[in-house]
Chains A and B, each alone.
Chain A
Amino acid sequence: MAAVAAGKAAGAAHGHGEGRGGGGGFLGPRVPAEVEAMARGVQEVGHETFRRLLRVTVNALEGKDCKESVKLIAESTSLSEEQLAFLISGMYTLLREALRLPLSTFKQEVFKEDLKELRIPEDFITDFSSIVFGNRRPVSEGTALMQGSRLPNVQDFKWRVDVAISTSSLARALQPSILMLMKLSDGTAHRFEVPVAKFQELRYNVALILKEMNDLEKRSILKIQD
């Protein structure tokens, strides 16, 4: 997404522009420069072109490749590459910030009000709304939206319980042991043996964490109003 990258870089280089009369609402106290530029530039854009740009932006949010579509738009309209950059990056930032907020606390009217403050045309506001609040909301499993920084989690967990009947040191050992194979989401795999005593410790600790999690979820800290 060269256009989006260029737009984002341009926006960052300019720094966040001065907010207009009170700030952008859900966009924070200072409306990002590219969103302002987009708001100004979108006035001259036709509805059809706008819809195509919007589709490209949504695809970008979902992590799909959009180089082809952007090229097509560039060829079929009279917009310069710089204009395209500002438009797409502005729409991208606007939608990304809006999609961050959970639907339980973020209401459509507030969203529409904020966009009206930016002087975005009415029809375009409706289109934006339908993306954020309607059933065209991008699937959150898309890479652009779900890239939280996390430690790896368990992808696959295999285990076996062995009993050592006889070893070179003991004719009759009869010692149980556990072998675990843990595949993590970052691609690493760990195979290790767990002595029975350590296994009990692991089980105890996991149960303890679960209990603490339950207590935490019931406590009033989770009832903080957003």
Chain B
Amino acid sequence: MLIKMGRKLFYWQICLWQPNRMSAVTIFVLQAESSFSEEEEEKLQIAFSLEKQDLHLVLETISFILEQAVYHNLKPASLQQQLQSIHLDQDKAEAFASAWAAAGQDTIEKFRQRVLTPQKLETIGWQLNLQMAESMQAKLKSPQAVLELGVSNEDSKNLKKVFVEFSHQELFEFYNKLETIQAQLDSLT
């Protein structure tokens, strides 16, 4: 039994809902990364003529159903079947299924890409320079590359920029290491 519905109160509410409103809210929950803001909640309350507590309950339960669908990677048909087997109305189950069919794959992909590490590489920039001289050496003519890596930190909003300089030889060695990593990735598939 995949979906455990312990919320009897929700049952009643969900049964009383119109199917088209449900699908609108379902898609909305799927697309929103974070929960609804205060104003949005108020608008929903008015639109669906629900009390604040009831609205919360409905939203929470829809989120729960969707999270379970993501976790088990359910196909829309299978989701519909499961919902119907816990005695949800046919049309409401259909609303779920169609919303899932529309945005399900993208949602699963988004969850797949989530990383747990606090720092993630976001941007890559680079610059190729030809160094002509420096204070200790005249007449150089050596190419230098500067790689700018933008690393995001979970806590702060800003991107930390890491600047790394490479000579031709150093860059070549770095490239070989990247090739090794790529070979490992290829061996996975």
Give Cα distance in the complex from A222 to B142, angstroms. Answer: 9
Give Cα distance in the complex from A191 to B135, angstroms. Answer: 33
Nearest CB to that of A153 among chain B residues? B165
Known contacts A179-B117, A193-B115, A195-B120, A226 near B145 by CB under 8 Å: no
Verify B170–A175 contact, CB threshold 8 A. Answer: no
Verify A203–B178 contact, CB threshold 8 A. Answer: yes
- Say what secondary structure dominates the interface of chain B: mixed
Nearest CB to that of B113 among chain A residues? A195
> Which of A144, A148, A153, A221 sits near B164, CB closer than 8 Å?
A153
Interface with A: B13-21, B67-75, B83-91, which one?
B67-75
Return B30 CB to nearest CB of chain A, in Å: 14
Nearest CB to that of A157 among chain B residues? B177
Q: What residues of chain A lie closer than 8 Å to B119, measured between beta carbons?
A: 190-193
Q: Is B32 an interface residue (CB 8 A)?
A: no
| Closest 8 pairs (CB-CB, A-B) | A151-B165, A192-B119, A148-B134, A193-B117, A169-B111, A194-B121, A100-B138, A192-B151
> Which of A173, A202, A221 sits near B178, CB closer than 8 Å?
A202
Q: Is B158 an interface residue (CB 8 A)?
A: no
Q: Is B1 an interface residue (CB 8 A)?
A: no
Number of interface residues of B (CB under 8 A): 54
B interface, CB within 8 angstroms of A: 67, 70-73, 108, 111-117, 119-122, 124, 126, 128, 130, 134-139, 141, 143, 145-147, 149, 151, 162-168, 170-172, 174-175, 177-179, 181-182, 184-185, 188
Give Cα distance in the complex from A16 to B181, angstroms. Answer: 56
Q: Is A170 an interface residue (CB 8 A)?
A: yes
Number of interface residues of A (CB under 8 A): 58
Give Cα distance in the complex from A213 to B131, angstroms. Answer: 12
A-B contact pairs, 22 of them (CB 8 A): A100-B136, A100-B138, A101-B139, A102-B137, A102-B139, A145-B136, A153-B170, A169-B111, A170-B112, A179-B117, A190-B119, A192-B121, A193-B120, A193-B121, A195-B115, A195-B121, A198-B124, A203-B179, A206-B175, A210-B168, A210-B172, A213-B128
Q: Is A93 an interface residue (CB 8 A)?
A: no
Q: What residues of chain A lie closer than 8 Å to B171, measured between beta carbons?
A: 206, 209-210, 213
